[in-house]
């Protein structure tokens, strides 16, 4: 394993950025140090960084090289020194994750989240009308109750993905993609629609 691979296994971009004074919020966003950035537009994760503002991107070594005007080798040596690393291979090296362009993946995830949220919202709106009690004495249908409880929240999430700033949208997408929540919701909506069709949407 080369010194570059050793560094990238041992130190995340976020760790290095914070070590050298960059303030990174809980969503992994920060003001980009490579252009005049007033609002956080740089996303940092374990393996790479990407700025939605100026387009700069790279791994932890690229980040340090650009920050201190160093060559890649000098940046790797600086990281090894500053983090107290022996640039020899670690005894149990973690496998490097495959890298994908973050902005393209984010846009795909955002579109998926928005589509699923809108599908669920339309289902809830239908339920709120279709299964509303006819009289005050009627038992409340579970679907009507779910619609009343969830419509405002789903509208709120959809509004953020429509008109929210980048940081808010990233936070919503990250939360929905975590633990396959959006996949679960998509399957849930599909199942409920299928059940409704099989029952002729009758109460």
Q: In degrees rounded to 5, what are phi and psi of residue 57? A: -155, 165
- Structural domain tally of the chain? 2
139 and 71 in a single domain? The answer is no
Of the three residues 26, 49, 82, the one that is the final residue of a domain is 82
119 and 191 in a single domain? The answer is yes
CA angle 10, 78, 18 (to 5 degrees): 65
pLDDT tens, position by position, 139-163: 999 999 999 999 999 999 999 999 8
66 and 114 in a single domain? The answer is no
Residue 92 lies in a domain: no
Q: Is the pLDDT of residue 201 over 80?
A: no
Least confident of 61-65, 94-98, 173-177: 94-98
Tell me the pLDDT band of 200, cut-offs 50, 70 and 90: low
Tell me the pLDDT band of 38, cut-offs 50, 70 and 90: confident
Give the structural domain span for 133: 102-198
To the nearest 10 degrees (0 to 180), the angle between helices 60-68 and 3-10 is 100
Residue 88 lies in a domain: no
Query: What residues form DSSP beta bridges with 51?
Result: 42
62 and 120 in a single domain? The answer is no
Residue length, the chain? 203
The dihedral sign for the CA sequence 103, 19, 66, 23: positive
Q: Of 164, 156, 175, 177, which is closest to residue 39 (Cα–Cα)?
A: 164
73 and 106 in a single domain? The answer is no
Q: Are strands 57-58 and 49-51 parallel, antiparallel or unpaired?
A: antiparallel
Residue 53 lies in a domain: yes
134 and 191 in a single domain? The answer is yes
pLDDT tens, position by position, 77-120: 899 888 887 655 444 443 344 444 567 888 889 999 999 999 99
Burial 61-82 (b: 16+ CB within 10 A, else e): bbbbbebeeeeeeebbbbbbee
Residue 145 lies in a domain: yes
Residue 148 lies in a domain: yes
110 and 180 in a single domain? The answer is yes
108 and 193 in a single domain? The answer is yes
Of the three residues 82, 114, 133, the one that is the final residue of a domain is 82
Residue 93 lies in a domain: no
Least confident of 81-90, 130-139, 188-197: 81-90
70 and 122 in a single domain? The answer is no
118 and 181 in a single domain? The answer is yes
In order, the DSSP letters of the chain are --HHHHHHHH--HHHHHHHTT----TTSEE--TTTT-SS--EEE-SS-EEETTT--EE-HHHHHHHHHT--HHHHHHHHHHHTT--SSPPSSPPPPPPP--HHHHHHHHHHHHHHHHHHHHHHHHHHHHHT--SSTTSPPPHHHHHHHHHHHHHHHHHHHHHH--HHHHHHHHHHHHGGGHHHHHHHHHHHHHHHHHHTTT--
pLDDT tens, position by position, 43-59: 998 889 999 989 999 99
Residue 185 lies in a domain: yes
165 and 129 in a single domain? The answer is yes
132 and 167 in a single domain? The answer is yes
Of the three residues 82, 114, 141, the one that is the final residue of a domain is 82
Compute CA distances 15 → 22, 59, 65, 74, 78, whole Å: 10, 12, 15, 18, 14
Looking at residue 95, its pLDDT comes to 38
CATH value at residue 26: 3.90.580.10
Residue 90 lies in a domain: no
Looking at residue 64, its pLDDT comes to 94
């Amino acid at each position: 394993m080369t010194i570059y691979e050793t560094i990238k296994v041992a130190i995340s971009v976020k760790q290095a950025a914070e070590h050298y004074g960059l303030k990174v919020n809980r969503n992994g966003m920060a003001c980009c140090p490579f252009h005049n950035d007033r609002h956080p537009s740089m996303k940092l994760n374990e393996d790479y960084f990407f700025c939605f503002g100026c387009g700069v991107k790279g791994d932890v070594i690229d980040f340090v090289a650009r920050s201190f005007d160093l060559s890649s080798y000098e940046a790797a040596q600086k990281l090894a020194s500053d983090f107290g690393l022996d640039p020899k291979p670690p005894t149990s090296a973690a496998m490097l994750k495959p890298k994908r362009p973050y902005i393209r993946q984010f846009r795909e995830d955002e579109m998926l989240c928005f589509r699923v949220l809108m599908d669920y919202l339309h289902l809830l709106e239908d339920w709120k009308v279709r299964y509303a009690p006819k009289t005050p004495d009627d038992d409340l249908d579970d679907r009507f109750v779910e619609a009343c409880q969830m419509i405002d929240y789903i509208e709120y999430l959809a509004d953020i993905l429509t008109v929210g700033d980048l940081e808010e949208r990233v936070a919503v997408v990250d939360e929905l993609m975590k633990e396959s929540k959006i996949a679960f919701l998509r399957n849930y909506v599909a199942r409920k629609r299928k059940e409704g069709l099989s029952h002729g949407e009758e109460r």
